[in-house]
Chains A and B, each alone.
Chain A
Amino acid sequence: MITDACVYANDSSNTTLRRFALTAASCGFSCIIACDSAEDIPEYAGVSILKGKLIGRVTGKAFLDAVRKTPAGTVVFVQAGENSFNRTVITTKGVHLLTGIADLPKGGFDHITAKMAAQQNTGVVLDLSRIIDPKTRRTALSRYAEILAFHRKFRFPLVLASGASDCLGQRNITEIAALAALFGMTKGEADAALCAVEGILSPKKTVEIVEEES
């Protein structure tokens, strides 16, 4: 399932959720995750829409409460912070994705955090809107190259997202692969990153019941 891991279809956006889905369908996606969306539409134009919740950099009890209060079936994103906070986030049950990597200081995501992300099957979101924006482009490209090096070593799930706040910010699969190539990601890795959400939401079990005897 090719997924655009994050679009911001909130009230401040000038694009409706249906329009996001329609554009995603024309861009070749089969699923989108709508962060903090007011509307609740499960599917439109053949694109399934998952609800997402973005939790900011809140520490301690407030963070745990925010994760606990999230309704079932919602994809939980957490804004990355300093290294110790990121480790707490990754090990917390119910957190699916770590986002905002481009804003981190150098060394904000180290090899230990990467190893923990691989063990806990927590994904790291590479927001392509940071590459599109010329102000954040240089930082984003260098951070994403670092994250990619960690991903190649520790094999934690890497997820590509358009991070669009309107339909003009959405990009098609070819463009996403071309943008990902800017920081050294191969076509195969980009394809795997576009399909990685499915593996995070429903991870493969060690033992799986294929058929039950009646």
Chain B
Amino acid sequence: MSVLPPTLRENRRYVLFRIITLVNPTQKEVYRSMADSVSALFGDAGAAEIHPAVVWSEGEYAIARCTRGYEQSLIAALAVVTKVCGEPAAFRSLATSGTILSLKKKVIPESIDDTTYPGYLCAGKKVNNLSKENGHRYLTRDDIIKE
């Protein structure tokens, strides 16, 4: 199929989102999670209209593409994602724009306070990471100082 002239191409919008998870998923895995939730929410016909795709992914940030006018639907689909690669995750939408470049400018460099670290709860005993009792905990710095 030949490339369409710019005036005939569909208009697109891009959504920047942050991937909050303990694993480091690839762009394909992020796309699979997003596509699954789009299909689950809007069905195959809706997914064809939304035309979702992941166009860029780096670290914990990614940019998804959709047809113009369906940004709200894409954000809702991203909000219902709960797992990536079988691990608990959340896709947090940050901004919407008409160009990838302007969204890349909005990517905030990581600071220590924003980063999520895995922590383990242990009651003064020997720490065994293989034990099921030592589950993941989400804390803040103040929690660590307090405990």
Contacts and interface: CB of A to CB of B under 8 A. Distances in A.
Contacts of A18: 139-140, 142-143
A178 B137 contact: no
B79 interface: yes
Contacts of B140: 16, 18-19, 22, 44
B64 to A, nearest CB: 13
A9 to B, nearest CB: 11
B100 interface: no
A14 B138 contact: yes
Given A168-B20, A168-B82, A168-B89, A175 B75 contact: yes
Contacts of B93: 172, 174-175, 178
Judged by DSSP, the binding face of A is: helix
A58 interface: no
B137 A132 contact: no
B143 A181 contact: no
Judged by DSSP, the binding face of B is: mixed
Contacts of B40: 134, 137
Contacts of A134: 40, 80
Contacts of A166: 88, 138
A167 interface: yes
Interface residues of A, number: 28
B99 interface: no
Interface string B91-116: 01100000000000000000000100
Contacts of B135: 14
Interface string A150-187: 00000000000000001111111011011101100000
B63 interface: no
A178 B79 contact: yes
Which of A133, A175, A177 has the most C-beta atoms of chain B within 10 angstroms of its own C-beta?
A175
A131 interface: yes
A181 B72 contact: yes
Contacts of B73: 178
Interface in B121-147: 135-140, 142-143
A15 interface: yes
Contacts of B138: 14-16, 19, 166-167
B90 interface: yes
Interface in A1-60: 14-16, 18-19, 22, 26-27, 44
B77 to A, nearest CB: 9
B72 A178 contact: yes
Nearest to B76: A178
A132 B139 contact: no
B136 A14 contact: yes
B41 interface: yes
A26 B114 CA distance: 9
25 contacts: A15-B137, A16-B138, A16-B139, A16-B140, A18-B139, A19-B140, A19-B143, A26-B114, A27-B92, A132-B82, A133-B82, A134-B40, A134-B80, A137-B80, A166-B88, A166-B138, A169-B90, A171-B79, A172-B93, A175-B78, A175-B79, A175-B93, A178-B93, A182-B41, A182-B76
Interface of B: 20, 40-41, 72-73, 75-76, 78-80, 82, 88-90, 92-93, 114, 135-140, 142-143
